[in-house]
Amino acid sequence: AQRVTQPEKLLSVFKGAPVELKCNYSYSGSPELFWYVQYSRQRLQLLLRHISRESIKGFTADLNKGETSFHLKKPFAQEEDSAMYYCALLNNAGNMLTFGGGTRLMVKP
């Protein structure tokens, strides 16, 4: 069975500090991973896909198959990054996501 674990429920950093939100997965096939974000009073939305190797709002995420991790990183956190972040894994059929428990990021001024 596929599983996604986000070990930190809350991560608090100061503005300008680096931030790393951890995500670990268990999956038997070749994983397709995503990060979703939910800002206050907004709906959940896609932040980035690992396959695209993109950087969105300064965030990047690298898939490490050896460590089965897909940590989200940003070198300099901004106050507007404060939000709930979810790591998600796509199933074999490509039509369903398994979400982690989420990490709330708080960026203090």
Under the rule (CB under 8 A), what is the footprint of another protein? 6, 9, 32, 34, 36, 43-46, 49, 51-52, 86, 90, 93-102
Closest CA relative to residue 31, chosen from 79, 88, 77, 74: 88
Sequence-separated (6 or more) residues with CB below 8 Å from residue 10? 103, 104, 106
**28/95 with CB nearer another protein:** 95
**18/101 with CB nearer another protein:** 101
**In whole angstroms, how close is the CB of 76 to another protein at the nearest point?**
27
The answer to whether the CB of 34 falls within 8 A of the CB of 4 is no
**15/99 with CB nearer another protein:** 99
